[in-house]
Amino acid sequence: MVSTIELNKRQERILEIVKDNGPITGEQIAERLNLTRATLRPDLAILTMAGYLDARPRVGYFYTGKSGVQLLTENLKKLYVKDYQSIPVVVNENIAVYDAIVTMFLEDVGTLFVVDGQNLLVGVLSRKDLLRASIGKQELTTLPVNIIMTRMPNITMCEKEDLLIDVASKLIDKQIDALPVVKETDKGFEVIGRVTKTNLTKALVALAKNE
C-alpha cells in the first residue's frame, strides 16, 4: 500500500532527475547518478509504490506530480472499517449496571453495546455512563442498564464498507470513543463490530509503516 514515506537523499535525487527529464528509463537515471541499474532498482520500486513515480513499459519513469500530502489523502481514502474493526462486546438491556461494570473490566473495553432479546442494538454504555450511575444512590446490582444507557435512535453507527476517515470524523463530531459496526435487517440493527480510537490509531501506524 502507498503512503507518504520519508525519502532518502538518493530517492530525492532520483525524483529531481525524473521531474526534469521524464519520461526517462532506469538505465538513463542510473547513468546520471553513476550507479548501476541494479543498485537503483529498490529506490525506483519504492518511489513507484509510494505513488511519486509512474512507470510505463518501454517509455520509462515519469513524475506523477503528486505531493506527499496528496498521496496520504489518497491512501487514507482506501482504509475501510472492515479491515480495522474489532470484535464488539455486547450485553443484554436487562443486565444490572454492576454486571456491566464487571463485563467492561473482564473484556477490557471502554464501550459496551446494548441489545434486546432479538440481539438488536438498543443502546450504548460508556465508562462515564457507568461511573455516573455508580456515584448515585441507586442499587447497582438491580438497576438495569437500559435506564442509564444512551439509547436508540441517538446512537451513532457505521457499516463495514464505510471509510475509516468518516468514522474518525463522527467520533470527533459527537465527542465519543467508539462506534458500533452494524448490519441493517428488517427488524433493526445487528451489531457486527466495533471501531474505537485505538483502531484508528492502529490504522495511522499501518499507514506510516507503508503496510
Residues that bind ligand ADP (CB under 6 A): 110-111, 124, 126-129, 150, 154-156, 175-179
Residue 108 Ramachandran class (φ > 0 left, ψ -120 to 50 alpha, else beta):
left
Distance of CA 36 to the CA centre of its chain: 40
The set of cell numbers assigned to 87 is 470484535
How near is the Cβ of 178 to ligand ADP at its closest, in Å? Answer: 6
How near is the Cβ of 128 to ligand ADP at its closest, in Å? Answer: 3
Q: 13 with 40: CB under 8 angstroms?
A: no
How near is the Cβ of 190 to ligand ADP at its closest, in Å? Answer: 15
Residue number with CB closer to ligand ADP (129 or 190)? 129
Rg (CA), the chain: 25
Residue number with CB closer to ligand ADP (74 or 177)? 177
* Secondary structure letter of residue 135 according to DSSP: T
Task: Write b or e for each residue in 92-101: b if 16 or more Cβ atoms lie within 10 A of its Cβ, otherwise e.
Answer: bbebbbbbbb
How near is the Cβ of 175 to ligand ADP at its closest, in Å? Answer: 6
Residue number with CB closer to ligand ADP (96 or 176)? 176
Using a 10 angstrom Cβ sphere, with 0-12 exposed, 13-18 middle and 19 or more buried, the burial of residue 62 is: middle
CB atoms within 10 A of CB 143: 17
How near is the Cβ of 89 to ligand ADP at its closest, in Å? Answer: 13
